[in-house]
Amino acid sequence: MLPTGWKWADVEVAVPRPGTRLPGVTMAGFRQRIRGDVGITMVAHPSVTLFLDLSETGGIVREAGGTRRCGSFVAGLLPGPLRTGGHEGACLQIRLSPVVAAALLGASAELTGTVATLEEVWGRDAGRVEERLRAAPSWDERFAIAADILAHRMAARPRVEPEVLHTWRRTLAARGRVGVEGLAEEVGWSRKRLWSRFGSQLGLTPKRAARLVRFDHAAHLLAAGHPAAAVAARSGYADQSHLHREARAVAGLTPTELATAPWLAIDDVAWPAGPRT
């Protein structure tokens, strides 16, 4: 069951066993019974997120850009204002690090700042994937099926360059508090080359990647109950006002609203802490 902030809904959460986890991929299964048509504002996260609707009648509802649609979808990095909700049904949510998304989908640059249907991203296989997952009798089997499909797709596609992978991992390890010049020196590239290759392969610049990772760290500190002033200092913002401006710019929320955001409240339950390579 969910922690505070979810009194209008009953949600059961399932997570994969360690043996079914893939590097750079995190999954969680949700079975929800939502009372009323309630929307949940998504908080930007440093990953491309797949929402696979396993209900029989299009249980996931999303609103983006003034459009309301049902069914499975993909939210790219920094998708902009996006609300999601639904009624009774099951959903498999898969988060892909930008490195994995680039190798898996081959369209990370197109996914940045966008929301698309699963079929638009995955092609005709999308329907067959949904059917297999829907027919599986348990979450363990669904996780295993999803991991197998992802592993096979990743093996058939080119990986990002080692220098780009190193830059992303260093950005994560430093929680976004890194400089492009220093990263370029580490990989032996010019700043211009790193900026170009990183952007073309992951769909965002090194600076925007660092900004998103830093914000994600700050948002989770706020959700954990830390005061905004302390979060600003720990996350590398100039002061509390700087954090406030960043929260408004990235998530459209104030730090106080982020602290009680249902989207963040579930993270510790659905996404056990671990590396996001």
Q: Is the pTM of this model over 0.85?
A: yes
* CA–CA dist 131, 60 (Å, integer): 16
85 phi/psi in degrees, rounded to 5: -165, -160
Q: Is the pLDDT of residue 251 over 70?
A: yes
CATH class for the region spanning 9-158: mainly beta
- Cβ pair 227, 238 in contact under 8 A: no
Q: pLDDT: is 247 or 37 the higher one? A: 247
Residue 60, pLDDT score = 77
- The residues of the chain that CATH labels 1.10.10.60 are 162-263
Residue 2, pLDDT score = 37
Least confident of 25-29, 105-109, 130-134, 204-208: 105-109
Query: Region 16-31: what's the mean pLDDT?
Result: 86
By C-alpha distance, which of 119, 29, 37 is closest to 74? 119
Residues listed for the chain = 277
* CA–CA dist 9, 160 (Å, integer): 40
Residue 183, pLDDT score = 96
Query: Region 187-206: what's the mean pLDDT?
Result: 93
Highest mean pLDDT among 11-20, 85-94, 147-156: 147-156
* CA–CA dist 210, 217 (Å, integer): 11
Query: Region 206-221: what's the mean pLDDT?
Result: 94
3-state secondary structure the chain: CCCCCCCCEEEEEECCCHHHCECCEEEEEEEEEECCCCEEECCCCCCEEEEEECCCCCCEEEEECCEEEECCEEECCCCCCEEEEECCEEEEEEEECHHHHHHHHCCHHHHCCCEEEHHHHHCCHHHHHHHHHHHCCCHHHHHHHHHHHHHHHHHCCCCCCHHHHHHHHHHHHCCCCCCHHHHHHHHCCCHHHHHHHHHHHHCCCHHHHHHHHHHHHHHHHHHCCCCHHHHHHHHCCCCHHHHHHHHHHHHCCCHHHHHCCHHHHCHHHHCCCCCCC
Q: Is the pLDDT of residue 3 over 50?
A: no
- The residues of the chain that CATH labels 2.60.120.10 are 9-158
The CA-CA-CA angle for residues 227, 228, 234, to 5°, reads 90
pLDDT, averaged across the chain: 84
pLDDT in tens, 162-182: 999 999 999 999 999 999 999
Query: Region 95-112: what's the mean pLDDT?
Result: 78
Residue 4, pLDDT score = 36
Quick one: pLDDT band at residue 41, thresholds 50, 70, 90? confident
* CA–CA dist 102, 122 (Å, integer): 13
Q: Residue 113: which residues within 8 A CB-CB, separation 6 or more?
A: 76, 77, 78, 79, 80
* CA–CA dist 11, 90 (Å, integer): 10
Residue 275 tokens read as: 């590396």
CATH class for the region spanning 162-263: mainly alpha
